[in-house]
Structure 1
Amino acid sequence: MPRTRPALTGGLLLGRVMHRRLQPPRPAFHYRTFSICFDLDALPLLQKVLSRLSPLRFYNRDHGPRDGSALLPWIQGCFAEQQIPASRYVLVTYPRLWGYVFNPVSFWLGLDENDQIRGVLAEVNNTFGEHHSYLLAHADRRIIGQGDWLTADKAFHVSPFLPVEGQYRFRFRLQEQSFHADIHYLDAAGEPCLLTQIAGNRQPLSLPKVWRAVLQQPFMTFSVVFFIHWQALKLWRAHIPFHKKPEPPQQEISL
């Protein structure tokens, strides 16, 4: 009997992002977003939907090696090099909207033949035009369960109000109609400093659905950048310690 893949292999994710700073305590803030989620094998179908009649676009050059080359061989190589047993890959990311994109983080989910998560590449961008990725998997390469936490040492400057030290811990939940990610930043002493939640409910990826989402949030990607800088201004006015941006890590992927 043929295997049925989860419906989340392609779709429009309508959701929200939440940030809450714990040290020093600051009020949580939320904003609505929409993103795309698709199986890399289905990229040609995605491009048909995001045609000239769509305000959204997806370009290979916005991800991976950023040279416009095919993304599937690149992500396959990343996972194979670390012996993570994935047979297909689902990407959750913001598309270009009106020609512009900024992705604070994109997730490459590596699934096995039973559609279980075996590894995740978290591709992070900062507002200084730099990028870095964290490749996450259990040491024994077992299945990543919904309640499992994965950790990575922080190696990349994202916010001037957080130092490049400590750890991230990640948790993922991939279901047929939804996607959820928790990202916690822990300081050098292991204390949680910043909590982030990213969640989305899947809608069919069709041109009418795309336009409906865009008409509800016509400047979504611009607003993401606005919220980042608005919160930074509030932290600066609250006299939160400021950290100078260091040089980015020479290694593009942290393990």
Structure 2
Amino acid sequence: MIPLPASLCDCVVGHTRHGPKAHSLRYSILSVLVDIEAETARGRRGWLWAVDRPALISLWSHDYGSGRVKLRDWVEQQLSAAGMVQPIGRIELLTVPRIFGLKFNPLSVFFAFDTRERFVGVIFEVSNFHSGRQAYAFAVDPNAGPDYRFKCAKDFFVSPFNPANRGEYHFRLRRDATSLRLCIQLEREGEKILSAVQTARLTPFSQSALRQALISHPFNTIKIVGGILIEAARLAIKGLPVFAPRRGTVDTRPRSV
């Protein structure tokens, strides 16, 4: 994997619940892939796209990480704790941007490259409806790939139909210059519970591409939130047991640890 220029990502997301009740959904979303520092340094401050300033499509640094330190510092802290030892050069972020100021981002991915532009670390930051955020960070062997696999214990409330801290996540990631594929699978006691797959076609940033994205995905955030709520109602009708978030934990706090 190599660093890429700022890109718009036309994504398709599919979820499949394997048990105890089978269920699936599929929807399209708009994401962006950007260098977290280059976008700010370039001073992109137009009415169509901006970083840390209002625009029709925007990114805000406080929507990610701890909210208490700069994003670079937070990424370095997370990856250092995960065992990464290389100095970090470029950091890229794959995320759902705010459109018309609205946000809800179920998953953001930080890609860290060393000073030789080798892929050396990744962070999967998960968000829930309670404004909680949880980071799962992994050091990456620079000689690995092109398929990358990671696994860790689940320790965060995401769905009311899954316990907060039971099970194991399995991540599989592949990215090239024009496409991306990310698979996340939840397993519990050796049984596959839930699978989520995100595929994306990458297009370099341009004013025309941004305008087209705004036309194609004007209700991006509303569609994501509405789709999740509708599917949750359908699962409740199917009789799945419901689990409440753990009060006072990261599940209900607005900042990622």
User: Counterpart amino acid of 2:38?
Assistant: A
Spell out the pairing of 1:96-107 with structure 2 (5 A cutoff). Answer: 96-107=98-109
Answer yes or no: is 1:74 the counterpart of 2:66. Answer: no
Alignment identity in percent?
A: 26
Q: Give 1:74 deviation, angstroms.
A: 2.4
TM-align CA RMSD? 2.3
Give the TM-score of the pair, scaled to structure 2. Answer: 0.86
Q: Give 1:78 deviation, angstroms.
A: 2.6
Which consecutive residues of structure 2, in runs of 5 or more, have no partner in the other structure?
none
Deviations along 1:161-213, one digit per CA (max 9) or x if unpaired, are 011201101011121112221100111x1211111011211112122211211
Q: Give 1:39 deviation, angstroms.
A: 1.6
Answer yes or no: is 1:26 the counterpart of 2:33. Answer: no
Mapped to 1, the partners of 2:250 and 2:98 lie a distance apart of: 26
Answer yes or no: is 1:206 the counterpart of 2:206. Answer: yes
Deviations along 1:108-155, one digit per CA (max 9) or x if unpaired, are 0112345443221111110111111111235xx554423332001000
User: Helix, strand or coil: the match of 1:99?
Assistant: coil
Q: Give 1:249 deviation, angstroms.
A: 4.0
User: Helix, strand or coil: the match of 2:80?
Assistant: helix
Mapped to 2, the partners of 1:46 and 1:178 lie a distance apart of: 27
* Structure 1 residue corresponding to 2:97, chosen from 95, 102, 112: 95
Give the TM-score of the pair, scaled to structure 1. Answer: 0.86
Matched residue, 1:152: 152
Which consecutive residues of structure 1, in runs of 5 or more, have no partner in the other structure?
none
Mapped to 2, the partners of 1:150 and 1:178 lie a distance apart of: 20
User: Helix, strand or coil: the match of 1:161?
Assistant: coil
C-alpha distance 148-53 of structure 1, shift in aligned 2 (>3 A): closer
User: Counterpart amino acid of 2:66?
Assistant: P
Q: Tell me, yes or no, if the aligned pair for 1:116 and 1:144 is still in contact at 8 Å.
A: no
User: Which segments of structure 1 move beyond 6 Å, counting only runs of 4 or more?
Assistant: none
Q: Tell me, yes or no, if the aligned pair for 1:54 and 1:211 is still in contact at 8 Å.
A: no
The structure whose residues are more often strand, as a share, is 2
